[in-house]
């Protein structure tokens, strides 16, 4: 849900880069058009400025691509770790249930409470991991 809010309500990195590029192009063009120069000099300045903007856009594209890959790898690692933790919790719960069943069948209510508590712990851990991942992503 927080990711949805980020996309709908806030400005993301892609919008910022596009806005920066457009602002730079428009600003450079206006500055060159109002400069008192001959047509040939003005065209050379415009070509030079356009080349610089292309260079800068290429650099930003590469940086954005690298950051995207880095975030993707981090998300994959976090997802893998979270999956392992959930599997471990499930195994722990199963061991508890098996133990309690073999020890005393009359304690069914306690078993159910232990299972519910363990499920809540796993859900809380998942929410914490997701919140941590969203916070880290928002910092970048």
Over residues 8-21, mean pLDDT? 73
Over residues 18-22, mean pLDDT? 83
pLDDT at 8: 47
Higher-scoring residue by pLDDT: 76, 2: 76
Over residues 15-28, mean pLDDT? 82
Lowest mean pLDDT among 68-72, 89-93, 135-139: 135-139
pLDDT at 6: 45
Lowest mean pLDDT among 27-36, 68-77, 119-128: 27-36
Using the predicted structure, report yes or no on whether residue 126 has a pLDDT greater than 50: yes
Under 8 Å between Cβ of 12 and 6: yes
Q: Read off the pTM.
A: 0.39
Per the rule left: phi > 0, alpha: psi between -120 and 50, beta: everything else, 135 is alpha
Under 8 Å between Cβ of 47 and 34: no
Q: What does the pLDDT look like over 101-115, one tens digit per residue?
A: 776 665 667 777 778
pLDDT at 83: 83
Alpha helices by DSSP H, listed for 10-107, are 13-33, 39-103
């Amino acid at each position: 849900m927080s990711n949805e809010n980020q996309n709908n309500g806030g400005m993301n990195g892609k919008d910022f880069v596009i806005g920066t590029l457009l602002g730079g192009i428009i600003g450079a063009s206006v500055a060159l058009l109002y400069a008192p120069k001959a047509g040939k000099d003005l065209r050379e300045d415009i070509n030079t400025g356009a080349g610089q903007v292309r260079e800068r856009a290429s650099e930003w594209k590469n940086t954005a691509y690298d950051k995207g890959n880095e975030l993707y790898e981090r998300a994959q690692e976090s997802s893998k770790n979270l999956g392992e933790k959930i599997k471990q919790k499930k195994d722990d719960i199963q061991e508890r249930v098996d133990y309690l069943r073999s020890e005393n069948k009359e304690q069914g209510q306690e078993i159910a409470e232990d299972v519910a508590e363990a499920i809540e712990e796993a859900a809380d851990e998942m929410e914490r991991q997701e919140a941590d991942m969203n916070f880290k992503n928002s910092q970048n």
